[in-house]
Amino acid sequence: MRAAFALREHGYVGEVTLIGAEVALPYERPPLSKTGEIAAIRTAEAYSDKRIALRPGAFVTNIDLGTRLVSLKGGEAMAYDNLLLATGARARLFPGMEGCLTLRTNLDAQVILSRLTPGAKIGIIGGGFIGLELAARARQAGAEVTVVEAGPRLLGRAVPPQIAKILHERHALEGVSLKLETGVVSASSDRIDLVDGSSMKFDTVIAGVGAVPETGLAEAGGLVVQNGIVVDGDFRTSAPDVFAAGDCCNFDWRGQRVRLESWKAAQDQGEHVALAILGKSVPYNKVPWFWSDQYDLSLQVAGIFDLGAPIHSRSTGDDTTVVFQCDATQNLVAAAGIGPGNATSKDIRIFEKLIERRTIVDAGRLADPSQNLKRLLAAT
Amino acid sequence: MAWIDACSTDDIDAEDVIRFDHGGRTFAIFRNHEDGYFCTDGLCTHEDIHLADGLVMENTIECPKHSSIFDFTTGEVETPPACNNLHCYKTKVEGGRVLVDI
Ligand SMILES: Cc1cc2nc3c(=O)[nH]c(=O)nc-3n(C[C@H](O)[C@H](O)[C@H](O)COP(=O)(O)OP(=O)(O)OC[C@H]3O[C@@H](n4cnc5c(N)ncnc54)[C@H](O)[C@@H]3O)c2cc1C
Ligand code: FES
């Protein structure tokens, strides 16, 4: 959707068609696990004003790179000059967990939200972002919540331990039962069976154990796929007139192949592809960025942390925490902040810009709260 | 519309923003890199988040939540997700005070 509008914003006059399996007009996913609000991003008129043809509820079954045709379920075939695969990801479920609910779409959210009622016993598998946001949401709705996580701490994949600790303490304070280092053997709609042989009973079990990139079409078409659809600096796949962006793609971030599940990256990459299609591409330099809201706390992460390497803290106020990381050459590579509302947003935004500009920093200075970040940025 | 005394010129750092509430409404008052003062509605047009926690760079404000960027001298959206422009109000500086026409 971002790419379609960006094509128009940058002057493309040819046909643009947005084909999507979901029936609803494009909507934002982040609120599904937070406020639960489901709203279209743009009205149907906004698409027609920009001459963007919508094909909701249309499932693409195949792409033929030779004849440049996409086939829809039901037999229809459509020709393209340039194709963008923005197929996203689907919620992961491990074998033996098939009966659990998962959250990816507006329809999933409707089912899950209807279960988060006062006194309901909710079991959540996975202490990642979706699991924790749902835990917060469920507590706020008055449900009894248990989170089961196999790892030794929450958010072990992408977030520094200093930040995860604050969220852990907050969830505990709010009355969420957090079970770490607890492996799950199998689970159904009302039961979780643990590695130690015990079982827990719930009214509803939700799994938040990650997402799998939706790469089936790319594979069927013969494109290179490796943890996502492999793309170059223009987000072009192994076929010159086929692009991929968002959760489904695997791209190079400063020498490291990554696949992100990030709302901002999906926006940035959509616009980037539009420019590439128009022959106006600029080097992709957008820093990975992610946020999460739980209770009144908001967390933001810019860049990608190496969780095995040292992480520095910048002492901010009592109720906020900001951490950052530099690589061996003193290059700032990542930063994260957490606090009530948007208390750390400004700092993290400045860190993001410093990362984008590949700023060499003195970690000691950056850790010192009396050093004005804005001035540091102005000096770069 | 009336001129309201909102703050002192020193209440806002250079290239920064503060929140100003008046008559049940909330505004953002900006000082740019050249000591120009500007006033817009306080809330982002994307999701009612206050812009006073955002980052000011020259004549732009970046929303603290999902990074929409607005030109606060005109109210125009420069970068989505916001689609709607911010409403701007006139300002003037008199005797070290910032007045806004709201
Ligand atoms: C509950 C939830 C909360 C989130 N919260 C945050 C957050 O707080 N912060 C953040 O940064 N990110 C968050 N995210 C991640 C963010 O929403 C995603 O990164 C973003 O949606 C990715 O956009 P996309 O366009 O790549 O893919 P998607 O949004 O997944 O869209 C892909 C679309 O392609 C369609 N499709 C796939 N295959 C086909 C086919 N063969 N034919 C037709 N259509 C097809 C799918 O039906 C889907 O509609 C959250 C995600 C979820 C699910
Ligand atoms: S609330 Fe401002 S960009 Fe979303």
DSSP string, A184-242: EEEEETTEEEETTS-EEE-SEEEE---EEE--HHHHHHT--BSSSEE--TT-B-SSTTE
Q: Is residue A287 part of a domain?
A: no
Q: Do A303 and A320 belong together in one domain?
A: yes
The CA distance from A10 to A295, in Å, is: 39
The CA distance from B71 to B61, in Å, is: 7
- CATH code for position A326: 3.30.390.30
Q: Do A81 and A230 belong together in one domain?
A: yes
Express each pLDDT in A88-116 by its tens digit. Answer: 999 999 999 999 999 999 999 999 999 99
| A303 backbone φψ class: left, alpha, beta (φ>0; ψ -120 to 50) | left
The CA distance from A361 to A331, in Å, is: 6
Residue of B12, B44, B46, B67 best to disrupt the A interface, most CBs of A under 10 A: B67
Residue A345 confidence (pLDDT): 94
Q: Do A240 and A183 belong together in one domain?
A: no
Q: Is residue A94 part of a domain?
A: no
Q: Which of A207, A237, A267 is the last residue of a domain?
A: A207
The pair of structure tokens assigned to A169 is 């303490």
pLDDT level of residue A357 (50, 70, 90 thresholds):
very high
Helices (H), A121-205: 129-140, 161-173
Range of the domain at B67: 3-101
pLDDT level of residue A378 (50, 70, 90 thresholds):
confident
Tell me whether A345 touches chain B (CB under 8 Å): yes
* Residue owning tokens 């959760």: A247
- B48 C-alpha to ligand 2 centroid (Å): 7
The CA distance from A157 to A94, in Å, is: 18
* Ligand 1 lined by A26 (C-beta under 6 Å): no
With a cut of 70, list the residues of chain B below it in pLDDT. Answer: none
Pocket test for ligand 1, best of A107, A219, A247, A273 (most atoms within 8 A of CB): A247
Range of the domain at A341: 296-378
Q: Which of residues 68-87 of B touch A (CB under 8 A)?
A: 80-81, 83
The pair of structure tokens assigned to A252 is 């190079």
Q: Is residue A96 part of a domain?
A: no
Sign of CA dihedral A260, A262, A266, A267: negative
- B61 C-alpha to ligand 2 centroid (Å): 11
What mean pLDDT do residues A262-270 have? Answer: 97
The CA distance from A363 to A307, in Å, is: 17
The CA distance from A243 to A248, in Å, is: 11
At A270, give phi and psi (nearest 5°).
-60, -45
- CATH code for position B47: 2.102.10.10
- CATH code for position A49: 3.50.50.60
Express each pLDDT in A32-48 by its tens digit. Answer: 999 988 889 999 999 99
Q: Which of A225, A249, A277 is the last residue of a domain?
A: A277
DSSP A72-89: ETTS-EEE-SSEEE---E
* Ligand 2 lined by B50 (C-beta under 6 Å): no
The CA distance from A263 to A265, in Å, is: 6
* Residue owning tokens 């987000």: A235
Question: Per the structure, how many domains does chain A have?
Answer: 3
What mean pLDDT do residues A296-306 have? Answer: 96
Which residue of chain B is at minimal alpha-carbon distance from A39? B47
Question: Per the structure, how many domains does chain B have?
Answer: 1
* Ligand 1 lined by A21 (C-beta under 6 Å): yes
Helix axes A129-140, A161-173, angle to 10 degrees: 20
DSSP letter for A226, please.
Answer: S
Q: Is residue A180 part of a domain?
A: yes
Q: Do A58 and A196 belong together in one domain?
A: no
Tell me whether A29 touches chain B (CB under 8 Å): no
At A313, give phi and psi (nearest 5°).
-110, 145
Sign of CA dihedral A129, A133, A139, A145: negative
Q: What distances in angstroms separate CA A164 from CA A203, A227, A313, one per listed residue? A: 28, 26, 14
This prediction has a pTM of: 0.94
Does residue A317 carry a pLDDT above 80? no
Q: Do A65 and A18 belong together in one domain?
A: yes
Q: Which ligand places an atom closest to the C-alpha of A22?
A: 1
Q: Of A149-158, A328-337, A367-376, B17-26, where does mean pLDDT reach its minimum?
A: A367-376
Tell me whether B50 touches chain A (CB under 8 Å): yes
Q: Is residue A238 part of a domain?
A: yes
Sequence-ordered list of residues with C-beta below 8 angstroms from that of A249, at least 6 positions apart, any chain = A85, A213, A228, A229, A230, A231, A235, A259, A269
Q: Do A128 and A184 belong together in one domain?
A: yes
Q: Is residue A127 part of a domain?
A: yes
